[in-house]
Amino acid sequence: MKKSLIVLITVAICSVAFAAVQLTITVPDQYTAQVLAAMNTLADTHMTLEARGSSPNPADDFDGRWDFRIAPKDPAENNIQFAKRFTTELLRASVRLVKSSEENQRYREEVSQIAVPDVNVPNGIIE
C-alpha cells in the first residue's frame, strides 16, 4: 500500500444542481511527514486567515479576516482522517471569511443610510 497521504474531501457546494464536489489531494511520500508535522504544529493554535484586494477602484477591494482554531489530532484519528479534518476546517474558514466580509459590507451600507443624530441645541435654551 502506498504511503502517500491521500485526502478525499467532500464539500457540499450550492450550485444549480446542488451537486457535491470531490477533491483529491495527494501528498507524495517524501513530503508526508513534513505536511503532517506542519498540520500537527498548527493544530490548536490561534490562526488568522486574512485577505485583501488591490484594484484600481478601492470600493471593489475585498477585505476580510477570520480567526479560528483547528483542534489537535485526536488519538482515535488516523493521519488521513486528521488531514481531511484539518483541510476541511481551512476551507470552512475560507468560506466564513468571505461570508463575514459580505455581511460586514451589508451592515456598513445599511448603517450609512441612517441619519446622524442631530444634537444641536440653541444657545438661548438657558439664559
Question: What are the pLDDT tens digits along the chain (127 aa)?
Answer: 344 444 433 333 334 456 788 888 999 999 999 999 999 999 999 999 999 887 777 777 888 899 999 999 999 999 999 999 999 999 999 999 999 999 998 999 999 999 989 889 988 888 8
Cell of 66: 477570520
Pairing state between β 5-12 and 20-27: antiparallel
Query: How far, in whole angstroms, is CA 108 from its chain's centroid?
Result: 20
Here the contacts of 31-35 (C-beta below 8 Å, separation 24 or greater) are 32/3, 32/4, 32/5, 32/79, 35/5, 35/83
| pLDDT given at position 17 | 56
Residue closest to 12 by CA, chosen among 21, 25, 23, 3: 21
Which pLDDT value is given to residue 34?
97
Q: What are the residue ranges spanned by the domains of the chain?
A: 29-111
Residue ranges of E strands in 1-127: 5-12, 20-27, 47-52, 63-68
**What phi, psi does 63 have (nearest 5°)?**
-145, 110
